[in-house]
Amino acid sequence: MNLEYFISKNIVKGDSHSKKITKPIIRISIIAIALGLIVMIVALSIVNGFQREIRNKVIGFGSHIQITSYDSQNTYEASPISLKQDFYPSLDTVKGIKHIQKYAMKAGIIKTKEEIYGVVVKGVGSDFDWSFFNQKIIEGNSFVVNDEQTEKDVLLSNHIATKMKLEVGDKMFLYFIQANGQLRPKDFIVKGIYQTGLEQFDNLYVIADIAHIQKRNGWSKNEVGGFEVLIDDYDELDKMGDFVYENVGYNLHSSTIKEQNPDIFIWLSMQDYNVNIILILMIIVAVVNIVSALLILILERTNMIGILKALGMPNWNVRKIFLYNAIYLIFKGLIWGNAIGIAICLVQQQFGILTLPEESYYVSVVPIELNFMNVLLLDIGTLVICILMLLIPSYVITKITPVKAIRFD
């Protein structure tokens, strides 16, 4: 153990007058660093969780990548494409691609004795991945699509079911809107009711057997509206989107979920700016407090500085004494901040204590995505920035002369 470290360990020990001044400042500095880190961990976890939840809901309705004909973009009345494609269903054997499924969409109107309501019917096949909707069903359950037999079951959102006064097991009539404007009715049975909290989708989609859309459009069993591709990692979306685009052929078009819903994903990306502002403010608070504490320690130990300099200790060695002590305070703050911040996130993640109005925030509880790598980076960033900023006030030590310092009281 070197001399500078030994002195720094005992720097706050002194007379009762010094303790009355330095100890409260030290406590305040540790608390400020801990509180700053708690706010940063919680804020980053909440924003990451919120982005994940909204993103997963949008993807649940439209998948990561959609493959359609060129004239089917931004319309529910798609031109049919053949089911017999080189990439279907073998595309899911490509590394990074989890699943590919067929689908079709068509506008329709639900009619009851008292109400009418415009919807978009999403037709799904036997290869449809129900994992998203199975998590969101609040009444009833999903249905099984059989390519050999057309199912009359449908899945409605809670919003549509409430507005139309429908319950699980009820019979309803859905009128498909044809290209010539005519309406073709079909009776269905409500098999399940789902709720995602994402109103612009909940208010719109009805899930049904794709065979109904094929029949109303005059398509064969080998014609569909398009294909949906699910990937393993959202962070690889752009890369996998380019891959799919290059491998679907010249007569088909593919687009990612970000390209289909730019307003939602731009809004989600803007949440990062809020987090960045919070991180900057909290780091500034931590830096100001630890710098103030260091300056006060230097002023309280002016006599000691003078003595050490008179004994021949270089300026940098004297500065290291105070830097060691300040780093020790930073570490204490980081330990407390990590312990409390991570504990808050884990409790919320496990028990969902904090709730939100779903109609305003699209989620019913405050979502948490605790990434320990992000926490580690926050710790390292806070530590490095604080240490660099401490070099400035420690420079005051070089301006203290031994003679004046020893006489200083």
Q: What are the residue boundaries of the structural domains of the chain, listed by start?
A: 3-57+265-407, 80-224
pTM over 0.95: no
Please report the pLDDT score of residue 155 as a whole number: 96
Please report the pLDDT score of residue 367 as a whole number: 94
Tokens of 399: 């301006």
pLDDT tens for the chain, residues 1 to 409: 465 555 555 554 444 444 555 677 778 888 889 999 999 999 999 999 999 999 999 999 999 999 998 876 556 777 899 999 989 988 989 999 999 999 999 999 998 888 899 999 999 999 999 999 999 999 999 998 988 888 899 999 999 999 999 999 999 999 998 877 788 889 999 999 999 999 889 999 999 999 999 999 889 999 999 999 999 999 999 999 999 999 988 889 999 999 999 999 999 999 889 899 999 999 998 888 888 888 887 777 777 777 777 777 787 888 888 788 888 889 999 999 999 999 999 999 999 999 988 888 888 899 999 999 999 999 999 999 988 888 888 777 777 776 665 665 5
18 exposed, middle or buried (CB, 10 Å; 0-12, 13-18, 19+)?
middle
The answer to whether the CB of 92 falls within 8 A of the CB of 99 is yes
The answer to whether the CB of 198 falls within 8 A of the CB of 362 is yes
Separation CA 10–CA 370 (nearest Å): 38
Please report the pLDDT score of residue 229 as a whole number: 96
Cross-strand partners of 68: 253
- 301: helix, strand or coil: coil
Burial call 157-174: b when 16+ CB within 10 Å, e when fewer: bbbbbeebebebeeebeb
Tokens of 90: 């073998």
Please report the pLDDT score of residue 148 as a whole number: 81
Q: What is the 8-class DSSP label of residue 397?
A: G
Please report the pLDDT score of residue 9 as a whole number: 52
Please report the pLDDT score of residue 10 as a whole number: 56
- 173: helix, strand or coil: strand
Tokens of 248: 């679907």
End-to-end CA distance of the chain, in Å?
A: 30
The answer to whether the CB of 65 falls within 8 A of the CB of 228 is yes
Closest CA to 117 of 178, 205, 217, 213: 205
Cross-strand partners of 6: none
Per this entry, what is the length of the chain?
Answer: 409
